[in-house]
Structure 1
């Protein structure tokens, strides 16, 4: 028998709330009851899929519609909102139901009224920055509308990291224990009642802006891969991995498979430890030729966006560095987003080729420092009028540099590109040749699983690695340090992850040695050429 309850809630969420309150008139615990009740109601994928996406509703004809949407928390600083948890007649208060504020409730400020006062958590959330087009289709189905073309009106564009059109919403969460636990850049799927209401930050204004608002019934945390993945993935074979590397090389790196393998390893990296610091190893692809034509757009970010859920292309120029904000900054108690206020799991491709001769002003130098901090320590400062606070990030960085090394940034690895046809490196997205849809799905599962996997090392292999490193260090007469061992172990872990192996084996360790030898040989060749 089909359960009609989810369909009734979608048809009239306000009535569903009233009915639930009538059966559970416990003001103190009702928000927790709401979260549990509606979360269980839509626990099955079939029931959840019936909830309309906030990206497809028509705001001109929609009021108090139950919707769902994927969001990144952008601003947690708005003050909590006071509401009356019990309306006249003993009816449910909150969730945007009529008469739940002092002004329109009809209540006097009596002792009984004050006993029903409660707070909700107010946040500002934005659609996932740089969400790849395929994500919506995989999660929401073939009829999903692209998230960068929202039907809901755009407001407060300064609260989004880029200048592209986006959806931002005011979020009101009544289960405050859950709401207060959310942090900036967290990824969540909200399910709530959509309305248009004044922006709480501007309530003291004569005419506050009316903004899209979600009165949240429940929410679910999203993984850093956005789409759920598993490790090890049964379909992730060594042959598939080699196909992926070849495709990245052919479509984004002029056929250079060695550079493509380093790009793959860097893109699946994540922070392993804060203390001791084991950060995501960043990568510079050096000797990246300048664009030979009018098209200045490298194809690599487009290639990576076909397999990773969030890829941020950041082309640097003097104007970008000197005029934009890379770090978030609070102005008039409103947090303006920065170019680097991005979710964990984002792959950032930074292009230096657009920087021409000129002067960097103070803003430009500040932006360079912010980007270097994100690369080196995976932190980003949030700037407030009289203070700044450092927030943790976890992003993968690939720098494209025309020189022998990055002109601005220190990265963990540098790989000189070898490309016979520079014109293949640039072009619009439509020039990227895609494999079959089935192959793309397999690629996405491979990199997604590698992004979340864990890798160990058996005692016998660890002993072999230690002995091997000691021999190599003696042969190098002290030129190799313990930092080199840490670096190589990090690379070995990433290599094993990319192969979907739960442990570092001897063949993985030998493969890492070969990768390092090839990389260093390229760097040494460049050095010899520069001397001549």
Structure 2
């Protein structure tokens, strides 16, 4: 549908001179477009970087202006919310209480949300997809809640959310910053943190865990002050009240609308799990057990369940980065457990270009560059055979190899050439050995 037809359709809901309005919007599209906010006025042109939360509404029938019922057309509608974990603008108003459950964070009604009306193929229509839409503001009844009026955007164009424009800092600059953030300074923890922040499922072998991920358990430290400055981060508390009152998986109570779950988050989000919030424990009722199972499954498979009536075991792919903080070894299924020192609020901002570096190294385009030379692959295989011959548990040897391969792949990808060389493999073995030695050195934490 052409731009002018969309503008005419939006203008039909308001008063105004059609020719003047279309001319003004066409001019504004050539300049800087204001971000969507609670104060955006009707028919103003806005851009909205958002996450698609509910994409299951029926197509909406509308008329471009003709009284001929045979000319009726359809448009796609979906509920979009501000990107969870991103820096938030101040909000002066709230959405109706009936919409509080459609945002994954515990912000209740003060999040920014809008009903998108899309007239062409438009953006990705998968739940939790990130999109930038440009369109004009209006209001409309919420599907399935006809008495609830919500902000609406008639979408003129859409596409992916732009990546950071700044030049990337160097790998060493970011590692030095991470190292100094621990007390005492900790270069091993810094390197593990970098690897986790660029990890992402690059392949999903049938029946096996995805390749390319690395989940961490930092024992003794809190990362929230550091991560909030660097990347899109969401904190997930495992307190007993949260486990019993929240839903970690998205769920539809009646098939007409989808309530968000704590884990309905866009690709690349860092989920900082606070296991210490569980305290000394207590009785876990059915809902709490279900939430912990959903979290464990998501960590292992990078798949998230969506609960709909009359539909069992619906799961969708996700790409989340999990870091668990605890005072003892986590009960969750994580790749690496590492005791660390305390952390304080960083006294200096991250190096300029840190976000650009993490975006570049964590991109699917960079992951596709990974190269494993034949001689290195042979060396890795021989070291595995040697460890098996040396005795010990065969399952332990296989688990060690799998973990070290995860680490090695990400060390390679943390460099521009993305090559898994002999030195990269040696460093992976060294990092894995040092982490296990730290675990062995803690009397209160059993070694892996």
Give 2:358's match in structure 1, choosing from 428, 447, 450: 447
Give 2:320's match in structure 1, choosing from 375, 395, 403: 395
Q: Which residue of 2 aligns with 1:268?
A: 198
Give 2:226's match in structure 1, choosing from 291, 300, 303: 303
| C-alpha deviation, 1:72, in angstroms | 0.1
- Paired residues for 1:10-159 under 5 Å: 47=30, 50-55=32-37, 58-59=39-40, 62-85=41-64, 87-88=65-66, 107=67, 113-131=68-86, 133=87, 146-147=88-89, 149-150=90-91, 153-155=94-96, 156-159=99-102
* Mapped partners of 1:228, 1:160: distance in 2: 28
Q: Which residue of 1 aligns with 2:142?
A: 199
Q: Which residue of 1 aligns with 2:170?
A: 236
* Mapped partners of 1:199, 1:340: distance in 2: 24
* Mapped partners of 2:240, 2:83: distance in 1: 27
SS in 2 for 1:464: helix
Gaps spanning 5+ residues in structure 1: where? 1-5, 23-36, 89-106, 108-112, 134-145, 290-297
SS in 1 for 2:353: helix
Structure-2 change in CA distance of 1:383 and 1:499 (3 Å): same
Structure-2 change in CA distance of 1:270 and 1:14 (3 Å): same
| C-alpha deviation, 1:248, in angstroms | 3.8
| C-alpha deviation, 1:386, in angstroms | 2.6
| C-alpha deviation, 1:221, in angstroms | 1.7
Q: Which residue of 1 aligns with 2:347?
A: 433
Q: Which residue of 2 aligns with 1:142?
A: none
Structure-2-length-normalised TM-score:
0.84
| C-alpha deviation, 1:158, in angstroms | 1.3
| C-alpha deviation, 1:193, in angstroms | 0.9
| C-alpha deviation, 1:245, in angstroms | 2.9
Give 1:508's match in structure 2, choosing from 407, 424, 442: 424
| C-alpha deviation, 1:282, in angstroms | 1.3
SS in 2 for 1:73: strand
| C-alpha deviation, 1:153, in angstroms | 4.8
- Paired residues for 1:177-326 under 5 Å: 177-178=121-122, 181-203=124-146, 208-222=147-161, 226-227=163-164, 235-237=169-171, 239-250=172-183, 255-276=185-206, 277-279=209-211, 280-286=213-219, 288=220, 298=222, 300-308=223-231, 310-326=232-248
User: Which structure features the higher share of helix residues?
Assistant: 1
CA contact (8 A) 1:54 1:152 kept: no
| C-alpha deviation, 1:358, in angstroms | 2.0
* Mapped partners of 2:152, 2:358: distance in 1: 35
SS in 1 for 2:327: coil
Cα deviations by residue, 1:279-305 (Å, 9 ceiling, x for unpaired): 42211123x27xxxxxxxx4x122112
* Mapped partners of 1:445, 1:215: distance in 2: 31
Cα deviations by residue, 1:146-170 (Å, 9 ceiling, x for unpaired): 43x2457534221111122210111
CA contact (8 A) 1:312 1:349 kept: yes
Structure-2 change in CA distance of 1:530 and 1:514 (3 Å): closer
SS in 2 for 1:447: helix
Q: Which residue of 1 aligns with 2:336?
A: 413
| C-alpha deviation, 1:529, in angstroms | 8.3
* Mapped partners of 2:446, 2:291: distance in 1: 31
| C-alpha deviation, 1:214, in angstroms | 0.5
Q: CA RMSD in A?
A: 3.2
Q: Which residue of 2 aligns with 1:295?
A: none
SS in 2 for 1:58: coil
* Mapped partners of 2:180, 2:356: distance in 1: 15
Moved over 4 A (4+): 13-20, 476-480, 527-531
Is 1:374 aligned to 2:298, yes or no? yes
| C-alpha deviation, 1:319, in angstroms | 0.6
Q: Which residue of 1 aligns with 2:437?
A: 521
| C-alpha deviation, 1:378, in angstroms | 0.9
Q: Mean alpha-carbon deviation: is it higher for 192-201 or for 66-75?
A: 192-201
Bigger radius of gyration, 1 or 2? 1
CA contact (8 A) 1:153 1:212 kept: no
| C-alpha deviation, 1:460, in angstroms | 2.9
CA contact (8 A) 2:238 2:275 kept: yes
Structure-2 change in CA distance of 1:153 and 1:216 (3 Å): farther
CA contact (8 A) 1:152 1:167 kept: no
Gaps spanning 5+ residues in structure 2: where? none
Q: Which residue of 1 aligns with 2:402?
A: 486
| C-alpha deviation, 1:394, in angstroms | 0.8
Aligned pairs, how many? 420
* Mapped partners of 2:83, 2:151: distance in 1: 16
Structure-2 change in CA distance of 1:478 and 1:336 (3 Å): closer
* Mapped partners of 1:500, 1:247: distance in 2: 24
* Mapped partners of 2:404, 2:446: distance in 1: 27
* Mapped partners of 1:467, 1:84: distance in 2: 69
CA contact (8 A) 1:236 1:500 kept: no
| C-alpha deviation, 1:14, in angstroms | 5.3
Structure-2 change in CA distance of 1:229 and 1:188 (3 Å): farther
